[in-house]
Structure 1
Amino acid sequence: MPYNNNQQHFTSHDGTSLFYQHWASSHNPEKKAIVMFHRGHEHSGRMAHLVEELDLPDFDFFAWDARGHGESPGERGDAPSFSACVKDIQYFVQHIEQTYAIPPENIAIVAQSVGAVLAATWVHDYAPKIRALCLASPAFDIKLYVPFAKQGLTLLNKLRGNFFIQSYVKAKMLTHDLDRAQQYDHDPKIAKAISVRMLLGLYDAAERLVKDAQNIYVPTQVLCSGADFVVQQKPQRDFYERLAHPNKEFHVLEGFFHDTLGEQNREIAVKKVRRFIQQCFAHPYDMPDVLNADKIGASCSTAEQFSQALPKTSLKKLFWDLTQRQLKFGSQFSKGLKIGEQTGYDSGSTLDFVYRNQSESQNLLGKVIDQQYLNAIGWRGIRARKQNIESLLEKYAALLAKKRKPVRILDIAAGHGRYILDAVAQLPKQPESILLRDYSELNVKAGQALIQERGLNEIATFVQADAFDTASLANIKPKATLAVVSGLYELFSDNDLLRQSLTGLYKAMLKDGYLIYTGQIWHPQQEFIARTLTSHRQGEAWVMRLRSQAEMDALVEQAGFKKIDQCIDEFGIFTVSVAQKIEP
């Protein structure tokens, strides 16, 4: 066997050291790799057999132990959240790139069951430029066999907090391979319980993935076990049918149990994976063109659908009209709804209320409405976005200081500027300058008051300006080293507007400066928002066109930046990314 096996650790996003195995090829001149993700309950050792069986000697192989599994730390079968494990993958792949000089374009993923959902979620949410994604029996919908089990677990989780569920799955339900089944039964590293927060997080991520699979732009192969007692087959097929990439495959392996790549006749599945990977590497990496997604494609058609007026007598129109009237009535009591109705639910004033995150109504009914309003999933995501911006701003300000470069902060659409000023307050040293801009006179006045309130007049300026005016941005002096665009591009579907803005931003920044930009890749209330909420733009309906992370990243890269970092909230709605200005 032409491999040397090494056992290593990498440091993930929260400082946790996670275990992985590396099988180094004795001949890998093109720097290619297969990265493997194990089933729930298992560990990297359970996929080690694939290193030989895949028969790809010119690839390095990597396999981790997810946190709470195998040699990695954490309570067995648990993690802080499902999204934390997805972010672990991002750090794992970054570690592989930095440590072994293997770029994402030369990586193929082979993942099974829960590991397949983790890997697919990472590809959807972070848009890595990998070469191939092979998913074996992805656990998009686990068969719990008890009626209303998911609803019951959700309720118990709210009442009791996190707890553990023992797996009903026996080894004989996983594979016909008696030796492998026996190993499963006697392996002390197998964690046969899973925490309810991980299980519910898995369900939520899987539901989102299946609905939004059109935003995965990677060649994808799905292997479906025909006699699977553990997961449902229909969501696997639904996921496959929605995939956007033309190079995709779906195979039903008749008679196979859930452990697809560990079955008795697994060479059938393994051959399909090998062929798919070889064909994906037969040509140079080619990223599908997503730069015109505002003019053609799924996100464009969905936004058009929600923009179109409903028939006057339809039940759907009556429902949304009633909902809109309820919001207007509620605004008589609720300060939060009143701000939304008066200035737009996407306005800087609304966002500032959401950031303050407290009921400000004077009457009891208004206080109750405010609390429910602030607890909406979209606003919770907005507040998580604010935390991620603050974290990344602090991280890259520290990096600039370490490199002895000036910290000059620029926000081109700051709203009231609260999130930027909150972030600045966390910095160990004040920046050299802060320039905040916004198109709204109301926002500028509110922001200037905040600057005054916080005693930042000497370093901070707030001016009224257009975030899409290329020339105005290009003429900013002094040039920024840390620019922020938060919550702006999500409000405009036209990519040409973003190009104007990003072109100006590129010219407004020093070489190697950092751009922090946000995206909205999914929203569970997209139709509700379009049918009932008004925008800041003269009372128009707030119709959002959701941009995939791949589309957002492509626009940023087209302007001359290189993406280097990313965060996302646990709901999978808002991303916060970092790109560096690269000069030719």
Structure 2
Amino acid sequence: MINTRTPDERQFLTSDNTELFYRHWPAISAGATPKVIVLFHRGHEHSGRLQHIVDELAMPDTAFYAWDARGHGHSPGLRGHSPSLARSVQDVDEFVRFTANDSQASMADVVVVAQSVGAVLVAAWAHDYAPVIRGLVLVSPAFKVKLYVPLARSGLALFYRLRGLFFVNSYVKGKYLTHDPQRVASFSQDPLITRPIAVNILLDLNKTAERIITDAGAITLPVQMLVSGEDYVVHRQPQLDFYQKLRSPLKELHVLNGFYHDTLGEKERVLVFDKMRKFIDTLYKLPLQRFDYSNEDRWGPGADSWRILSGGPAPCSLDDIAYRGLRYGMKMLGTQSTGLRLGFETGFDSGSTLDYVYRNQPQGSSALGHLIDKCYLNTLGWKGIRQRKIHLQQLIQQAVTKLVGQGKAVRVVDVAAGHGRYVLDALEGEACVSEILLRDYSELNVSKGLEMIARRGMTGCARFERGNAFNRMELASLDPHPTLGIVSGLYELFPENRLVRQSLAGLADAIEPGGILIYTGQPWHPQLKTIAWSLTSHKDGEAWVMRVRTQGEMDALVREAGFEKCAQLIDEWGIFTVSMAIRRDDSDQFCTAD
């Protein structure tokens, strides 16, 4: 007979001040090292339906946690609603970090078990945030929900655009989830089951799943995939496509013949729990599996993509003809747009272009030019850039608060600041900041930045100088040494990691232990081909070919330099990340987010 462990019931506060309900099952015996398993429930459900997992895994030396997602169970919000899927993925990151801290463990002691919609959230988290955890168990992930009405997704997207937010009720009945009559009855009778799902979440789920499956090679954690063989709720092929692209050598797939969608609640689930327990035991017996990113700029998929794009389209192909036409059209009509003209003059990756995008005020030499400029500024990439600016300012302000709280002086350096707008916007009026040093290699950027400092009346605390962000000795000799270093939008412009390592090493030399680094990343971009084959960079009019780095690769470079990431933000499209890391001391301790 299974002994039931009784959970504590608590609330967890997210970064947007939402109190999410969660259950905690403390370990009932001590192990050699801490073990923490975080459970994520299926769509429509809640943490109370996960009690049996804690009992049936029978791991007394392990602490278990499970939340009620926003809009589910005892957590607040409209039923079945979240502001966005990206917000829910951020909740995952914050909750897992919280569970590690609450258990006095490190992230490396955590295993995550997630089902259905919860598994999609966790897969997106693993892709976008690259957490350093022990591993994942993904159970029947809902990468593609079976919608039995033809063109359902297109219709829902159209109605959402016309009507705004509305809710779709689930068609799923308990008898389609499991052969276990007790589970069927409990599903039907549970008053906390949430039938509706917000249309924005349903559509985001599909878009995010497509992105994650396409780029699943970015996920390098150990993964066990459990797939139901007779699933009436989600499609199997996207699950298999996702699994095949995972890059960890420690991964295993099980297709469970005859199982319905509630894989862990099926009648014969003892077979599943045996496989899970064996996999999880293996994860805890082995050393933490860190993926080797040391040659990622030579042999990784991001490097391959950069080399393919650098070669340009095949001559006389449809891509060649299409992008020739696009370039011709932009030069003939597009230059009536102030933004496009500035891009051709200074480079679409220049500080001048980014400052124009930040201001987001369409301009043109004619009505047509104004319209073109408006469309140009509203492209997805530039929306992401503006969101990156907001995230930069948020983490800069958090970093200042952290340094002041530790009694440290706040001395800021941005090593490739462009015009410096995002730094000055974040720090203007901050009396606790003793010095702001902005640097850039471009004389034009230095000149524009000095003008901006003067206009804001910040000449007493801010200065701008020409400098090389890749010169280690130059950065190491900054005087006085900064306590907050910033590098934004720079590394993706350079394909090799040698320069990135030099830059980060120089910042590590300059920033004392306990100091902070804020850095950006670009793990994915939906318009890489369009950018590479139609836009020019600031480097003598060359093609603007960006080198995406997975978040795991970027974090590994930062860790190698002597920093440890403790916070991250990412836009809702999964394009640009902004991360905060602490300069480690000799004890090489992990940092924790506030």
* TM more than 0.5: yes
Match of residue 173 from structure 2: 170
**Distance across 2 between alignment mates of 1:476 and 1:78:** 49
Partner of 2:265: 262
Supply the distance in 2 between the matched residues of 1:150 and 1:93 (Cα, whole angstroms). Answer: 31
Structure 1 pair 218–515 and aligned structure 2 pair: CA distance change class (3 A): same
Tell me, yes or no, if structure 1 residue 290 matches structure 2 residue 293: yes
Following TM superposition, by how much is the alpha carbon of 1:302 offset from its aligned partner in structure 2, in angstroms? Answer: 1.4
Any idea what the Cα deviations from partners look like across 1:509-549, whole Å, max 9, x if unmatched?
23311110000011111111111111111111111121111
Q: How do 1:23-42 residues align onto structure 2 when only pairs under 5 Å count?
A: 23-29=25-31, 30-42=33-45
Q: Match for residue 103 of structure 1?
A: 106
Whether 1:56 aligns to 2:59 is yes
The whole-number CA distance in structure 2 between the counterparts of 1:246 and 1:454 is 54
Residue 237 of structure 2 aligns with an amino acid whose one-letter code is K
Structure 2 unmatched runs, 5+: 587-594
Q: Which residue of 1 aligns with 2:231?
A: 228
How big is the shift at 1:219? Answer: 0.7
Q: How does 1:138-153 map to 2 (within 5 A)?
A: 138-153=141-156
1:361 pairs, out of 361, 364, 371, with: 364
Amino acid at match of 2:312: A
Tell me the residue number matched to 2:590.
none
Letter in 2 for 1:49: H
Alpha-carbon separation, structure 2, partners of 1:526 and 1:264: 47
- Give the structure 1 partner of residue 469 of structure 2: 467
Once superposed, what is the RMSD of the aligned Cα atoms? 1.3
Q: Which residue of 2 aligns with 1:456?
A: 458
Task: Work out whether residues 86 and 118 of structure 1, in 8 Å CA contact, stay in contact via their aligned partners in 2.
Answer: yes
Structure 1 position 273 matched with structure 2 position 276:
yes
Q: Is the 8 A contact 1:2 1:26 kept in 2?
A: no
2:347 pairs with one of 344, 355, 359: 344
Paired letter, 1:291: S
Match of 1:200 among 199, 203, 212: 203
Report how far residue 481 of structure 1 moved.
1.2
Uncovered stretches (5+) of structure 1, i.e. residues with no partner:
none
Query: Does structure 1 conserve the Cα–Cα contact (< 8 Å) formed by 2:410 and 2:484?
Result: yes
Match of 1:512 among 511, 514, 517: 514
1:557 maps to a residue whose letter is R
Q: Deviations over 1:43-101 (max 9, x none)?
A: 01111101111122221111111111111111110111111111111111111122211
Match of 1:251 in 2: 254
CA distance in 1 between partners of 2:239 and 2:388 (Å):
31
Please tell me whether the aligned partners of residues 3 and 25 of structure 1 are also in contact (alpha carbons under 8 angstroms). Answer: no
**DSSP 3-state at the match of 1:535:** coil
Deviation at 1:242, TM superposition (A): 0.5
Aligned pairs for 1:295-334 within 5 A: 295-334=298-337
Instruction: Quote the Cα distance in structure 1 between the aligned partners of 2:314 and 2:386.
Output: 36
Asked whether the equivalents of residues 112 and 136 of structure 1 are also in contact (C-alpha less than 8 Å), the reply is yes
Q: Residue 404 of structure 2 contacts residue 432 of structure 2 at CA under 8 Å; is this kept in 1?
A: no
Q: CA deviation at 1:458?
A: 0.9
Letter in 2 for 1:348: G
Q: Report the AA paired with residue 272 of structure 2.
A: A
Are 2:36 and 2:103, in contact at CA under 8 Å, matched by a contact in 1?
no
Q: In the TM superposition, what is the alpha-carbon distance from 1:4 to its structure 2 partner?
A: 4.7
Deviations 1:463-517 (A, max 9, x none): 1111001111111111111111110112112111011101111122233111100
Match of 1:68 among 62, 68, 71: 71
2:193 paired residue number: 190
Range moving further from structure 2, 205-214 or 94-103: 94-103
Amino acid aligned to 1:295: R
Q: Deviations over 1:255-279 (max 9, x none)?
A: 1111111111111222221111112
Percent identity (aligned): 49
Select 1:421's aligned residue among 403, 420, 424: 424
**Equivalent in the alignment of 1:136:** 139
SS of the residue aligned with 1:480?
Answer: coil
> Taking structure 2 as the reference length, what is the TM-score of the superposition?
0.96
**What is the SS of the residue equivalent to 1:328?**
helix
TM-score normalised by L of structure 1: 0.98
- Residue of structure 1 equivalent to 2:375: 372
- The 8 Å contact of residues 43 and 69 in structure 1, kept in 2 or not, is answered as yes
Tell me which amino acid in the other structure corresponds to 1:176. H
**Alpha-carbon distance in 2 for matches of 1:439, 1:172:** 65
Runs of 4+ deviating beyond 6 Å: none
Pairwise CA distance, 1:203: 1.2
Contact 2:128 2:574 survives alignment (8 Å): yes
State the AA in 2 paired with 1:262.
G
Cα pair 1:390 1:423 within 8 Å, conserved: yes
- Aligned to 1:563, the other structure's residue is in SS state strand
Q: Distance in 1 between matches of 2:552 and 2:270?
A: 34
Contact 1:2 1:57 in 2 (8 A): no
Q: Report SS of the residue matched to 2:483.
A: strand
Q: SS of the residue aligned with 2:79?
A: coil
Conserved in 2, the CA contact under 8 Å of 1:330 and 1:337? no
Residue 420 of structure 2 contacts residue 438 of structure 2 at CA under 8 Å; is this kept in 1? yes
Aligned AA (1:172): K
Partner of 1:541: 543
* 1:3 CA displacement: 4.1
| TM-aligned CA deviation for residue 27 of structure 1 | 1.3
Q: Are the equivalent residues in 2 in contact too, given 1:4–1:25 (CA < 8 A)?
A: no
Matches within 5 A, 1:372-521: 372-425=375-428, 428-429=430-431, 431-521=433-523
Paired with 1:10 and 1:78, the residues of 2 have a C-alpha distance of 18
Which residue pairs with 1:6 in the alignment?
Answer: 8
